[in-house]
Amino acid sequence: MPQRQVGPFQVGAIGLGCMSLSHAYGQPPAAELGERLLLAALDGGVTLFDTAALYGFGANETLVGRVLKPHRRRFTLASKGGLAGVQTEEGMKRVIDGRPESIRRNCEDSLRRLQTDVIDLYYLHRWDKRVPVEESVGAMADLVRAGKVRALGLSEVSAATLRRAHAVHPIAAVQNEYSLWTRNPEIAMLDACRELGATFVAFSPVARGFLCDALHDVTALDAKDIRRHMPRFAPANYAANLMLLPAYRDLAGEAGCTPAQLALAWLLHKAPHIIPIPGTTRVDHLQENLGAAGVKLQAALMQRLEALINQNTVAGDRYSEQSNREVDTETFHEWRCSGS
C-alpha cells in the first residue's frame, strides 16, 4: 500500500470509513462480520481507521475498540466529537453540540468505547454554528495538551472556517465529501488544505455506492437507509444519474479496473494530500477498493472522466435542505452567485 501523510502520521493511501458497519445504510452487518472486515482491512494494509461518536450512537466505536485494541500500535485511529446521540423520550437523537464541555465529554466517552488512552486524529464532526469555531477548537486543543488527542481535524467545513480554526491550533486534516459527483472541495478547500499543510480526507469517495455501478433500484433501499432522504437518490434524479453509468463503465474498462476502483484512483491522482476513506460491509468489496492504489490513470482519461461526471451533469443536491443547513461547506450555487 502506498503511503501518504496526515498530520504526524504516515498512513496507507486508502483508509477505511467504519460508519457502515454500524450506521446509516439500513440494517448493519452482524458483529462477527464487522470484526472480520476490520481485521481484513488491517491485513490488507489499511492503517487509517475512521469512526465517530455518532455512528450507531457509540456502537461503531465500541466495535472498533474491541476488535482493534490488540493491534493498536499498527494503525492511526481517527474519531469525531461535537455530534453525538442524546437520549430523549422518543429515543436516541443526533445533536450537534460544539460547546467545550460537550466536546470534552464526547472525547472521554470515545476514549472509553475505543479502549485507548489517546485518539490519534480527533475531528470536530460538525461546526456548531451557535458556538464560535475558535471555542470548539480551543477545547480540542486542550485535549491535545492533556495527551488525550494527538492531532486535530474538522469535518464538513469551508475554507474560511478552516483558516479560523487553524489560527487557534494547527489542523491536520479536513474530512469533507469528495468524489466525481461531489466536486465542492475544488472551489476552495483543496487549495486551502495544501496551503496550510492539512490533509484532505475524502468521505463517500464512491458516491455512496453510485460509482460502484451496483445500485440500480433505489426503491429497494432499506427504510432506514439515509440515501432515501438525499435528493440525488430520489427516483427521478437517480434515473437521470444512471444514464451516466454506461460511459463511466466504459472508462473503467479502458483503465483496466472496476468502476469503484476508478472512482478511488481518480481521487488518488488528483493530489498527493488527498486520502479517500471508502466504507463497506463486505471483504470482497474491501479488497476491490484497496486494489485502486495500483491503478494508473492517464491525463486524457482523467479529463474525459471529469467531463462526464461533475456538478453540471449530476441531478440533485447532495443533501436535503435541513442537512445543508447543518454543514458549512462551499456550494457551487453560492460560488457562482458571488461572481467567483
pLDDT of residue 339: 67
Please count the structural domains in the chain.
1
Given a cut of 90, whether residue 124 has pLDDT beyond it is: yes
pLDDT of residue 91: 85
List the CATH number of the domain containing 82. 3.20.20.100
Q: Does any domain span residue 340?
A: no
User: Distances from the Cα of 301 to the Cαs of 78, 141, 205, 291, 304, in angstroms?
Assistant: 33, 43, 18, 19, 5
Distance CA 187, CA 329 (A): 10
pLDDT of residue 335: 78
User: Distances from the Cα of 258 to the Cαs of 89, 211, 264, 331, in angstroms?
Assistant: 46, 10, 10, 30
Task: Give the residue among 128, 124, 115 at the shortest CA–CA distance from 62.
Answer: 115
- DSSP H or E run through 15: none
- Count of helices and strands (H, E) across the chain: 13, 12
pLDDT digit string (tens) for 240-280?
999 999 999 999 999 999 999 999 999 999 999 999 999 99
- DSSP H or E run through 69: none
pLDDT of residue 330: 96
Range of the domain at 38: 12-333
Contact 278, 16 (CB under 8 A): yes
pLDDT digit string (tens) for 53-66?
999 999 999 999 99
Contact 50, 18 (CB under 8 A): yes
Cell numbers 465529554: residue: 105
What size, in residues, is the chain? 340
Helix/strand/coil for 312: coil
Q: Does any domain span residue 5?
A: no
Contact 243, 157 (CB under 8 A): no
Q: Look at strands 3-6 and 9-12 and give their pairing.
A: antiparallel
pLDDT digit string (tens) for 130-184?
999 999 999 999 999 999 999 999 999 999 999 999 999 999 999 999 999 999 9
Cα dihedral sign for 171, 184, 326, 231?
A: negative
Q: Does any domain span residue 140?
A: yes
Residue type, 267: L
CB atoms within 10 A of CB 117: 9
Please give the mean pLDDT across all residues of the chain.
97
pLDDT of residue 340: 62
- Partner residues linked to 161 by β-bridges: none
Q: Does any domain span residue 1?
A: no
Task: Give the residue among 131, 176, 187, 132 at the shortest CA–CA distance from 154.
Answer: 176
- DSSP H or E run through 268: helix 259-270
283, burial (CB in 10 Å: exposed 0-12, middle 13-18, buried 19+) = middle
For the annotated catalytic residues, the residue numbers are: 55
Q: Does any domain span residue 257?
A: yes
Q: Does any domain span residue 4?
A: no
The HSE-up count of residue 98 (CA atoms within 13 Å, CB side) is 19
Of the candidate ranges 81-90, 169-178, 193-202, 215-224, the one whose mean pLDDT is the lowest: 81-90
Distance CA 290, CA 2 (A): 10
Q: Does any domain span residue 7?
A: no
Based on C-alpha coordinates, what's the Rg of the chain? 19
Q: Does any domain span residue 339?
A: no
Distance CA 133, CA 107 (A): 17
